[in-house]
Structure 1
Amino acid sequence: MEKLEQEMPLDPFEHIIFDYFPVYVEADVEAFLDLTSDQEKKKCTLEIVHAGMKRAAQAFNWDLQILEKVYHTIKQTGYKSIFALLKKSSPNKKYVCSIMCHHEVKRMDVYVEIKKRSGIVVKKEKLFSVKNTDEQDLLSEYGTLTWTLNHKVEFADKDYKKVYRLTFLEKDKPEDLVWKMERYEL
């Protein structure tokens, strides 16, 4: 990727969808597609996005130091993209359930994670993978996270036709944890 930036004027009103600001960055698509490892694709993608973000930061007079800090943090953490899509506390406020998304190059893995209030992870389990890596699409399909009891939580689609129900119970020893994940499809 020799040249990532392209000298084009930024037009904030051209092709705006929602509150997006279009930024044009030149990239060698064939060279990107020829990359064989997902790690190399993540590195290349970061460089392309970073070039575009710098252009937007200059156009909007944003603090470039913050952008550079984020850029270096992404590199230091091994290009991992993990975030909580949904998060809710249990009725007794002892636990937090999070639906975690792990972005990969060609898929997004979706996990359920239970943490104690102290931040200690009780357990985490993969629910499914999707090929579409846009979390907004996932959120538009799956958007319901509900605690039904202090130790029972459900993650479901908007129509409650696909439901993941987790029942868990902590014991004195972490290895004795009771953890039951059920999937229902109506």
Structure 2
Amino acid sequence: MKCPVGLKQIKLSTPDEREGKTEESSSVLKYYKAFDFEAFYQLDEMSQKKHLLDTLYNALLELCKKFDWPKVPFTDVYNKVLEEGFINHYVFRQKKSRNRKYVARIVCHHESDRFDCFVSITDKDEKEVFNKLIFTEEPDEFQFNGLLGDIKWADTHTLTVLNSDKSVKDSIDLTEIVAQ
């Protein structure tokens, strides 16, 4: 049995009579596995992260067997998460300035207690010349995804930070910053 194309998420649930069964709903493949929330909340933060990773990884291995998926991509990601110590920092958007002297990035830090979004500008030598917190939100993708916008160079020294609705959130003039 192959997993249908287009399914993008796997959801683990609290215990119920559908234990071990799968169910399709839109782009979500639900896989019912028992999870002991009481024991989970007794763990320290790092142990919680490890427990969640192990739970997800073991469920994915079961699904690999059930749907004949390759295990290697999941094992690689599992090992990478451990190697990086559960740090979840990534570049959401990146744009070079028109004169190629600067690179602007929207950088996301997804922590267990918050989601921080920054705008960062580096020169061509990767030296940071500007960094500013754009927003902080709950660490829930349904909360922060709607706030993630875009960046656009208005000219060679002016970066515009846009909200998700394309309205202007901020404008950064590098001529003032670099001159300091």
1:103 to 102, 110, 115: 110
- 2:157 maps to 151
Q: Which amino acid aligns with 1:26?
A: A
Residues 115 and 136 of structure 2 are in contact (CA less than 8 Å); yes or no, is this contact kept in structure 1?
yes
Structure 1: segments with no counterpart, 5+ residues:
171-175, 180-186
* One of 7, 26, 29 as aligned partner of 1:21: 29
Tell me the CA shift for residue 117 of structure 1. Answer: 5.0
- Tell me the distance in 2 between the aligned counterparts of 1:129 and 1:158: 15
CA distance in 1, matches of 2:170, 2:111: 22
Q: Which 10-residue stretch deviates more, 161-170 or 76-85?
A: 161-170
8 Å Cα contact 1:142/1:155 also seen in 2: no
Paired residue for 1:50, among 53, 57, 60? 57
Equivalent residue for 1:76?
Answer: 83
Q: Check the 8 A contact 2:110/2:139 in 1, yes or no.
A: no
**TM-score (normalised: structure 1):** 0.72
How many Å separate the matches in 2 of 1:109 and 1:45? 21
Which residue is equivalent to 1:173? none
Q: For structure 2, which runs of at least 5 residues remain unmatched after alignment?
A: 1-14
Superposition deviation, residue 80 in structure 1: 0.7
What's the offset of the Cα at 1:30?
1.0
Change (3 A) 1:10 1:152: same
User: Any residues of structure 2 matched to 1:109-120 within 5 Å, and which?
Assistant: 109-117=116-124, 120=126
- Once the two structures are overlaid, the 10-residue window that deviates more, 78-87 or 57-66, is 57-66
Q: 2:38 corresponds to which residue?
A: 30
Distance verdict in 2 for CA 1:47–1:178, change over 3 Å: farther
Alignment deviations for residues 27-70 of structure 1 (CA, whole Å, 9 cap, x no partner): 2111222224x322222221122123223333332221221121
Q: Secondary structure at the match of 1:149?
A: coil
The 2-side partners of 1:22 and 1:121 are apart by 44
- Whichever residue aligns with residue 81 of structure 1, its letter is N
What is residue 20 of structure 2 aligned with on the other side?
8
In the superposition, relative to structure 1, how do residues 27 and 146 fare at CA in structure 2: closer, same or farther (>3 Å)? same
TM-score w.r.t. the length of structure 2 is: 0.74
SS at 2:31 equivalent: coil
Residue-by-residue CA offset, 1:58-102 (whole Å, 9 max, x unaligned): 333222122112111111111011122222222223332111111
- 1:65 equivalent among 63, 66, 72: 72
Range 25-34 or range 100-109, more displaced: 25-34
Residues 41 and 105 in structure 1, CA contact (< 8 A), matched pair in contact too: no
Per-residue deviation, 1:25: 2.6
The aligned amino acid for 1:75 is L
The number of aligned residues is 163
Shift of 1:157: 1.5
Give the AA of the match of 1:62.
W
C-alpha displacement of 1:169: 4.8
Q: Does 1:85 align with 2:97?
A: no
